[in-house]
Amino acid sequence: MPAELTYESTLRELATDQGVLRYHEAGEGPPLLMLHGSGPGVTGWRNYRGNLARFAEHFRCLVLEFPGFGVSDPTEEHPMMAAGGAAVRFLDGLGLDQVDVIGNSMGGIIATQVALKHPDRVRRLVTIGGIGRNVFSPAPGEGIKLLMEFTDDPTREGLIRWLNSMVYDPRTVTEEMIEERWAQATDPGTLASARRMYGSKAMAARAKAMAASDEPPYWAMLHKLKAKTLITWGRDDRVSPVDMMLVPMRTIPDVQVTIFPNCGHWVMIEQKSAWESAVLAFLTRKDDA
């Protein structure tokens, strides 16, 4: 990574009526919003810091830190419920009418929901795992179960088990990654927020509420998605099994799918170069006349 693209040099703040949103900015050109996933110690910077330099050659990259994950100001809402509103508030605050969006896992779901609700604001959409629903594989997946176990009983060993479920190659999980994730994941405020999302009681309550809801789930509305979409996935994903991709692949009107071999949930990390090439080709491709 070029020396200038450090955590400190790219960090920005945007004051909003619901607290400060922090983000990282790099590059010039069309705006590219990058939304992170969830899980212990996650941040937008940790999801995308390895990709930022390459994308910054083509785009004004904006890596938003969602409220409730320990970087932006906290939220009283359930962090997943607050994320979509935060993304729109962020775009409004920066005066951006339309952006391309990359979303990892939860961030992909949020990006999809924003694109469904505000179709004119998302030109092209890239998702990394996570969207859709399990078709053949049981739910929740192995990685989600380990995430729930860690959230209920946060131990260093539990964190390592969860991190290993995120990747195909265990060498990806370094001591540095473990240490920085552990520090953030065990921060009292961040841990309390995580329990609202992934504690076993919270997950059971969410499943019960969804079963009783009259509102269709977002994945049942994908036929209304206007944005050109690229779905990217790790073939060996143990968090969001690759068969989840089948519903979006069939129902999103303008969609292409790229599946990367020998790759777990963090496609942008484990298949960094190949993923970046595929995404840049998609985002910079000229629209058909």
The catalytic residues are: 265
Q: Extract the tokens encoding 7.
A: 């955590």
When the pLDDT of each residue in the chain is averaged and rounded to a whole number, the result is: 94
Helix intervals (H) in the chain = 7-10, 44-48, 52-56, 79-93, 106-117, 142-152, 156-165, 175-185, 188-198, 200-212, 246-251, 267-270, 272-284
Query: Whole-angstrom Cα distance, residue 260 to residue 274?
Result: 8
pLDDT value at residue 93: 97
CA distance 181 to 47: 12
Strand order in the sheet with 11-16: 11-16, 19-26, 60-64, 31-35, 99-104, 122-128, 228-234, 255-260
Q: How far apart are CA 33 and CA 111, in angstroms?
A: 9
Q: To which H or E segment does residue 267 belong?
A: helix 267-270
Enumerate residues 6+ apart whose C-beta is below 8 A from 190. 41, 69, 70, 184
Q: Enumerate residues 6+ apart whose C-beta is below 8 A from 26.
A: 5, 10, 52, 53, 55, 56, 60, 61
Which residue type occupies 58?
H
State the amino acid at position 85 in one-letter form: G
- Only one residue has tokens 């949103």, namely 21
CA 11/CA 64 separation, integer angstroms: 10
Per-residue pLDDT of the chain (289 residues; tens, 9 = 90+): 444 789 999 999 999 999 999 999 999 999 999 999 998 888 999 999 999 999 999 999 999 999 988 899 998 888 889 999 999 999 999 999 999 999 999 999 999 999 999 999 999 999 999 999 999 999 899 999 999 999 999 999 999 999 999 999 999 999 999 999 999 889 888 888 889 889 999 999 988 998 899 999 999 999 999 999 999 999 999 999 999 999 999 999 999 999 999 999 999 999 999 999 999 999 999 876 4
CATH superfamily of 11-137+216-284: Alpha/Beta hydrolase fold, catalytic domain (3.40.50.1820)
Do residues 62 and 28 make contact, with C-beta atoms less than 8 angstroms apart?
no
pLDDT digit string, tens, across residues 200-227: 999 999 889 988 999 999 999 999 999 9
CB 27 within 8 A of CB 57: yes
154 is written with which tokens? 């946060």
Separation CA 10–CA 26 (nearest Å)? 6
Query: Torsions phi, psi of 31, nearest 5?
Result: -70, 135
Facing residues of 128 across strands? 104, 232
User: Looking at residue 39, what is its pLDDT?
Assistant: 86
Q: Is the Cβ–Cβ distance between 72 and 65 less than 8 Å?
A: yes
pLDDT of residue 288: 60
Stated pTM of the model = 0.94
Two tokens, residue 52: 């930022």
> Cβ distance 103 to 83 under 8 Å?
no
Angle CA(191)–CA(160)–CA(192) in degrees, nearest 5?
5
Cα distance between residue 128 and residue 36, in whole Å:
10
Stretch (H or E) spanning 259: strand 255-260
Query: Residue 237 has which token pair?
Result: 């994903």
